[in-house]
Amino acid sequence: MKPKEIVVNDRMQRRYRYFLTKPAGRCFHPDFEPELTPKQMLELGVFGGKYMTDCRNEFPASWFAGAKLSPKVRDPSLNCFGVDASQPLSHWIEKGWIHEEDPRGWFQWYCRYYMGRRGPDDERQIKRWKGMKRHIAQIRKHCRKGDLSCRKVQRQALLHWAYDSRKI
């Protein structure tokens, strides 16, 4: 596959360049098995619909066709479980979880990874993704299988990390 160059110019990045070196949606690290694609996540409702509103040109238009978006303000009612399960970006920056190449955080990294970008932050991000499994254990421990009203914030948080918490 010939690498394809992507140039990003949006509200958070100017002239950022990266290359797609793998086919979209394939050739993932063996420890990284997300249950949802970015398109599925956007359709289900994540991040109060605010997350990807100014960077749509970077990703396939099909991702946004059925997406639940809120261009002006975050609207938790658009989330799959209708609850707020997000920390502000300032919290993520404080914790050192945001890197320059992906200033919006994990989901931006995942979207770019899904499209075929590979880079030096992949191992750290995959480790963070795997750490979310603790929430699956909590839902299994405290909720009846299929009770989507139980632990809605944890279920929504799992959706933010490409785990399909509707199946727990």
Q: What is the pLDDT of residue 135?
A: 96
Q: How confident is the model at residue 96 (pLDDT cuts 50, 70, 90)?
A: confident
pLDDT of 157 strictly over 90? yes
Asked whether 166 and 46 are in contact (CB, 8 A), the reply is no
> What are the backbone dihedrals phi and psi of residue 59, each rounded to the nearest 5 degrees, phi first?
-120, 165
- 25-79: per-residue pLDDT in tens? 999 999 999 999 999 999 999 999 988 788 889 999 999 999 999 988 999 999 9
> What are the backbone dihedrals phi and psi of residue 39, each rounded to the nearest 5 degrees, phi first?
-60, -45
Q: Which residue has the tokens 């209708």?
A: 82
**Whole-number Cα distances in Å, 15 to 11, 18, 106:** 11, 10, 20
Q: What is the pLDDT of residue 89?
A: 82
User: Quick one: how far is CA 45 from the chain centroid?
Assistant: 11
More confident residue, 4 or 97: 4
Tokens encoding 69: 């978006």
For the chain, what are the domain ranges?
4-133
Asked whether 24 and 116 are in contact (CB, 8 A), the reply is yes
- 3-class DSSP assignment, residue 7: strand
- Residue 17: strand pairing partners: 7
Q: What is the pLDDT of residue 1?
A: 79
User: Quick one: how far is CA 25 from the chain centroid?
Assistant: 14
- 3-class DSSP assignment, residue 159: helix
- 131-152: per-residue pLDDT in tens? 999 999 999 999 999 999 999 9
Full DSSP string of 53-103: TT-GGGS-THHHHT----SSS--GGGSTTSS-----HHHHHHTT--BTTBT
